[in-house]
Amino acid sequence: MADLFASPGPEPEPAWHPLADRLRPRSLEEVIGQDELLGPDGPLGTMLGADTLGSVILWGPPGVGKTTVARLLADVTDLAFVQVSAIFTGVADLKKVFEAAKIRRGNGGGTLLFVDEIHRFNKAQQDGFLPHMEDGTILLVGATTENPSFELNAALLSRAQVMVLNRLGLTDLELLARRAEEALGQTLPLDGAAREALLELADGDGRALLNLIEQVSGWSVEDSLDQKELARRLARRAAQYDKSGDAHYNLISALHKSVRGSDPDAALYWLARMLEGGEDPRFLARRITRMSVEDIGLADPQAQSVCIDAWNTYER
């Protein structure tokens, strides 16, 4: 029988780590695609340089490094890193976290509390952070994919700065792909067009790209694959879209601006992307009819009639 009072040994390392975990940056300088935020003149870079880091909300799409940045902030500031998820954490769990942070503070230490998906906490739960932020018990770092102005209450926002993390561009994704190839010890079996298609398939999500690279690197092929062969072997990635969140409003705004800018190709792209994501065609019919009146108007008097006829055809 094991000794109940023996000090537990280190947990055995798992036999396999996902590539995304193996390539997690070990310093803020290694973070890709967020120079505007983390650079010497960026908001976070300035705060760290002046040793005045306060509570922050990291807002950005999935796979851009929100969790990684939070971990590295704890390392830089020499604070204990505590991570909770708003999906799985209740009030009782938070009370335990706050009590542990108070004890740690009494012993001369500090706590960086990272709350993933913080927008999923209701208003009352969000208010529970306020006294502990004010007295310095915790330094709060929240992560959200939704607009904080809509999802977080004013009291919390007044005590934390919102930091925006950008979707990764193709140049950033290429740099990430090269790091992955170096870690894997092999180059991807793709020609130039297929490699670019792979980067575009990630849609600015670094984690998604690394998962795709890990999948492609395991293929046994003799020659480089072209774009058509790559598409045949890879499962199609679901379009990132929501019917009431940021993606919904960003895409309808892009569609509206494309129409105003007289760019039919862009307008068709954004329209197709919304339909592909599952948007209600009736919503699009209403908005496009409104555009025909407000933005086109007398420039093409038939535009409204065409829109209404198309709408009626769909309804029937």
DSSP per residue, 253-306: HHHHHHHHTT-HHHHHHHHHHHHHTT--HHHHHHHHHHHIIIIIGGGSTTHHHH
Looking at the DSSP bridge assignments, the partners of residue 139 are 112
Selection from 240, 244, 231 nearest residue 203 by Cα: 240
The whole-number pLDDT of residue 37 equals 94
Q: Is 88 left (phi over 0), alpha (psi -120 to 50) or beta?
A: alpha
Q: Which domains does the chain have, with CATH numbers?
A: 34-164 (3.40.50.300), 170-233 (no CATH), 246-315 (1.20.272.10)
Sheet containing strand 161-164, edge to edge, reads 80-85, 111-116, 139-144, 56-59, 161-164
The whole-number pLDDT of residue 2 equals 47
Average pLDDT, the chain: 89
34/251: higher pLDDT? 34
For 39-87, what is each residue's pLDDT tens digit?
A: 999 999 999 999 999 999 999 999 999 999 999 999 999 999 999 999 8
Q: Is the pLDDT of residue 134 over 50?
A: yes
Q: Is the pLDDT of residue 309 over 60?
A: yes
Which residues, including other chains, have CB under 8 Å from residue 285's CB and lie 6 or more apart? 307, 310, 311, 314
Q: Is the pLDDT of residue 94 over 70?
A: yes
Q: Provide, rounded to the nearest whole percent, the portion of the chain with pLDDT above 90.
A: 61
Confidence of residue 297 (pLDDT cuts 50, 70, 90): confident
Residue type, 225: L
Q: Is the pLDDT of residue 181 over 50?
A: yes
DSSP per residue, 105-136: HHTT--EEEEEETGGGS-HHHHHTTHHHHHTT
Confidence of residue 99 (pLDDT cuts 50, 70, 90): very high
Lowest mean pLDDT among 206-210, 231-235, 262-266: 231-235
Tell me which H or E stretch contains 97: helix 91-106
Q: Is the pLDDT of residue 16 over 50?
A: yes
Burial of 264 (0-12, 13-18, 19+ CB in 10 A): exposed
Rg of the chain taking only CA atoms, in angstroms:
24
Q: Is the pLDDT of residue 229 over 60?
A: yes
Q: Is the pLDDT of residue 3 over 80?
A: no
The whole-number pLDDT of residue 184 equals 93
The whole-number pLDDT of residue 250 equals 83
If you count DSSP H runs as helices and E runs as strands, how many of each does the chain have, helices first? 17, 5
For 110-119, what is each residue's pLDDT tens digit?
A: 999 999 999 9
Residue 205 φ/ψ, nearest 5 degrees: -105, 110
d(CA 200, CA 168) in angstroms, rounded, equals: 10
Q: Provide, rounded to the nearest whole percent, the portion of the chain with pLDDT above 70.
A: 91
Estimate to the nearest angstrom the gap between the alpha carbon of 57 and the chain centroid.
13
Tell me which H or E stretch contains 45: helix 43-49
Confidence of residue 1 (pLDDT cuts 50, 70, 90): very low
Confidence of residue 13 (pLDDT cuts 50, 70, 90): low
